[in-house]
Amino acid sequence: MKKILIIEDEASIAELEKDYLEINGFKVDIEHSGFMGLDKSKNNDYDLIILDLMLPEINGFEICKKLRENSDIPILMVTARKEDIDKIRGLGLGADDYITKPFSPNELVARVKAHLARYDRLVGITSKSNDNIIIRGLNINISSRRVYVNGNEVDLTTKEFELLVFLAQNPDKVFSKDYLFEKVWGEYSLGDIATVTVHIGKIRDKIEADSSNPQYIETIWGAGYRFKV
């Protein structure tokens, strides 16, 4: 059973969230104080944290920052002010999602489920013992260096394969072209970051159903590429 911690100072909201999550099969603890919540999250094995932003003594921003120092579990931020969302994004604190009050409890449950599923996928994909990376219709076998799309093998060159594997093993993170070039080609190689662009294009032609609307390797304008999960 997945365990969720709610850090929320308004008892009625916390109870409502708890009721709906319990109906949906989760085990739920509530903590009304930010400091207590932080303590509790360190001493327990939670799968997800629902964190209210406006708390007395220590606010949700600070708590999120502290939680991220030693944990990567999903954090769902709850805020009463829409303008806080930009702030959450801008600070890059590592919150996974945010929801504004008032929200429907069903929406909260749906988000919780989505983030737990996503987290399980990420852990599965990145576990080192995994010789196979399987995501949607794409199957990459590392030791045999074979790649299948919907069961059909596709031929990748050595560098295309290495680039794809590196991105797939580090999903949901953005890497710049410089970084990828150094990682896959080595810093003393001849060539430049345009090489990365060309190779991404070739990989897309081979694994994507529609290269102009990629489902695996996304272009993040001005930043680089990200493997989509």
Using CB under 5 A as the criterion, which residues of the chain lie in contact with Ca ion when the complex forms?
9, 52, 54
Q: What tokens were used for 149?
A: 């799309």
Find the helix packing angle between 105-126 and 158-169, rounded to 10°.
Answer: 140
In terms of Cβ atoms closer than 10 Å to its own Cβ (0-12, 13-18, 19+), residue 23 is exposed
> What is the 8-class DSSP label of residue 92?
T
Query: What's the min distance (Å) between Cβ of 13 and Ca ion?
Result: 8
Query: What's the min distance (Å) between Cβ of 102 and Ca ion?
Result: 13
Q: Measured from the CB atom, is 99 or 134 closer to Ca ion?
A: 99
The beta-strand segments (E) located in the chain are 3-7, 27-31, 48-52, 75-79, 97-100, 132-135, 138-141, 146-149, 152-154, 174-175, 217-220, 224-227
**CB-hemisphere CA count at 13 Å for 225?**
25
Q: Measured from the CB atom, is 11 or 194 closer to Ca ion?
A: 11
Q: Measured from the CB atom, is 9 or 97 closer to Ca ion?
A: 9
Query: What's the min distance (Å) between Cβ of 20 and Ca ion?
Result: 18
Q: Measured from the CB atom, is 24 or 59 closer to Ca ion?
A: 59
Query: What's the min distance (Å) between Cβ of 85 and Ca ion?
Result: 16
Alpha carbons 133 and 200: distance in angstroms, whole number: 18
Q: Measured from the CB atom, is 54 or 174 closer to Ca ion?
A: 54
Query: What's the min distance (Å) between Cβ of 9 and Ca ion?
Result: 5
